[in-house]
Chains A and B, each alone.
Chain A
């Protein structure tokens, strides 16, 4: 029983991390209609930046995290500016190919700068709470709190501000939004800034929960994307729920099968969804999309 509760808690933590990346993914997707493969890699870079600031330079962890998040925003913005924007009128595979190029460049940079060795934030593990016989560490409590906080900020932004209305309008119908005077380009910039910030938050939290590795970029990208598809493309909160489900699935999965398969579980879920219900749990099948 204790183990089960522990797995549930781990699932909750991992799932909320995937979910928060997925939300950013969904936003970019709903506006640009392309899979930004590099999204998870921005999270990975954010994770390492925080490491540099806190461990290598000895800065306060909170300050390091904030600086890392800001720098990740800058990174997301420059990638959009330099690599994606010039391709908006190019052939349809070009943005996808480019985003894969960007991803691998970011991973290569991480390998060159920080190396392939596993690193960690050196934060002492403190005793946390006991819940139903399972232990939640202090760090996990932080993670959950940070997630709740960023979610609340995001929801407030999307639902209560003019900016949010503009983003949602652009996602629904870009031409209509343009007619209403929304500048699509600046919305795209905002979405990339926001998405990158959330990716960096998730990356840092993931670094706290597990440890740091350059391959995390791919892991985050794929899991977040699986979350998005599971929740239904274009449904922003669907991605969040999808992320939670995947977090639970892979953590509970090791209750049944050996832990080495943990990563494969997310991929298997992805394949099964594609096969069974490609529109996701909460996405409506777009009627204009036809089955040939």
Chain B
């Protein structure tokens, strides 16, 4: 059981670290992270069911996820912040509609069973313990990748764009492209995490990639603190444990799902009211409303 929990934490930690790159460091509010997760999961599952090696599938999942990120980023990144939020939401819902309705490919609501487990250097990864190690390795790699990125001049530029994109552009930073790259990096990680998930559970259906899932990942990031990779992982640890723990209360599944949802929403609201920076948050009060995009005094 504990191995299962840690494996899930590895997967959700990866998702949170990727999303933190987008929301925490670049200041773009995404409501579609589950879509990239799902794209990765389906890509990897379908490829491996068609006979491709599992790790190739996961890589392809990451790439497809990143392509989805490019699509959303390209169409919304130059617009107001809330538009990005809605663009990602719309993308997420369309993706889910595709998972549900393209029955020829995805088997729709029936889902894809029998997704193979990976094998490494000819050794099949069968037990949960082994898979847990794999998930932790992936998480560590993602964390190293994200930390490297945000500590580099690229990460510093991301933060400057989050603080004031007009000023960043005035210095010669290609704001649009940088935002898209950040979104793509985040969705790549989500895509790989999707592959990791699919080959762990060995069964996926569209219900795993809903808006609720996107919100859950968002709560992990906000809870741990925007703009802090370790915070994201901490959020994943605490909330995955809470979520899985709820399953043991013996409530009917419909009630426990709703209860879960209520708990997250209360956490989210409470956190915003009491500690908007999250538990380990970097972002302080950025009062940057509508004025962010307006140059002073329209007329003059």
A-to-B contact residues, CB < 8 Å: 33-35, 83, 86-87, 89-94, 96-98, 100-105, 107-109, 111-112, 115-116, 218, 222, 225-226, 229, 258, 260-261, 263-264, 267-268, 270-271, 274-275, 278, 286-292
Partner of B75, one of A116, A267, A274, A286: A274
Q: Are B269 and A94 in contact, CB atoms less than 8 angstroms apart? A: no
Whether A229 contacts B86 in the complex (CB less than 8 A), given A105-B262, A108-B258, A109-B262, comes out as yes
A sample of 14 more A-B contacts (CB under 8 A), given A97-B268, A108-B258, A112-B259, is: A35-B82, A87-B276, A93-B81, A94-B276, A107-B261, A108-B259, A108-B262, A112-B258, A258-B101, A260-B101, A267-B91, A278-B79, A289-B293, A290-B166
Task: State how many angstroms separate the Cβ of A111 from the closest Cβ of chain B.
Answer: 4
Task: State how many angstroms separate the Cβ of A292 from the closest Cβ of chain B.
Answer: 4
Task: State how many angstroms separate the Cβ of A42 from the closest Cβ of chain B.
Answer: 15
> Is B156 engaged at the interface, CB distance under 8 Å to the other chain?
no
Q: Are A112 and B255 in contact, CB atoms less than 8 angstroms apart? A: yes
* A35 to B80 alpha-carbon distance, docked (Å): 11
For B101, list chain A residues within 8 Å (CB). Answer: 258, 260-261, 264
Q: List 20 A-B contacts (CB under 8 A).
A: A35-B86, A83-B273, A90-B272, A90-B287, A92-B287, A96-B29, A97-B222, A105-B261, A105-B266, A111-B257, A112-B255, A115-B254, A267-B93, A267-B94, A270-B90, A271-B90, A289-B294, A291-B78, A292-B165, A292-B176
> Is B250 engaged at the interface, CB distance under 8 Å to the other chain?
no
Dominant SS among interface residues on chain B = helix
* A205 to B258 alpha-carbon distance, docked (Å): 26
By beta carbon, the residue of chain B nearest A289 is B293
* A113 to B215 alpha-carbon distance, docked (Å): 22
By beta carbon, the residue of chain B nearest A279 is B79
- Residues facing A in B173-214 (CB within 8 A) are 175-176, 211-212
For B98, list chain A residues within 8 Å (CB). Answer: 264
For A91, list chain B residues within 8 Å (CB). Answer: 276, 283-288
Q: Are B76 and A274 in contact, CB atoms less than 8 angstroms apart? A: yes
For B166, list chain A residues within 8 Å (CB). Answer: 290, 292
> Is B120 engaged at the interface, CB distance under 8 Å to the other chain?
no
Total number of B residues with any Cβ neighbor in A under 8 Å: 64
Partner of B294, one of A96, A105, A288, A292: A288
Partner of A100, one of B31, B83, B254: B31
* A107 to B75 alpha-carbon distance, docked (Å): 30
Q: Are B254 and A98 in contact, CB atoms less than 8 angstroms apart? A: no
By beta carbon, the residue of chain A nearest B92 is A267
A100, A108, A287: most-surrounded residue (chain B CB, <10 A): A100
By beta carbon, the residue of chain A nearest B71 is A271
For B29, list chain A residues within 8 Å (CB). Answer: 93, 96-97
Partner of A104, one of B78, B90, B165, B215: B215
* A229 to B76 alpha-carbon distance, docked (Å): 13
Whether A98 contacts B262 in the complex (CB less than 8 A), given A274-B87, A278-B79, comes out as no
Task: State how many angstroms separate the Cβ of A92 from the closest Cβ of chain B.
Answer: 4
For B254, list chain A residues within 8 Å (CB). Answer: 111, 115-116
For B267, list chain A residues within 8 Å (CB). Answer: 101
For B91, list chain A residues within 8 Å (CB). Answer: 267, 271
By beta carbon, the residue of chain A nearest B77 is A292
For B212, list chain A residues within 8 Å (CB). Answer: 104
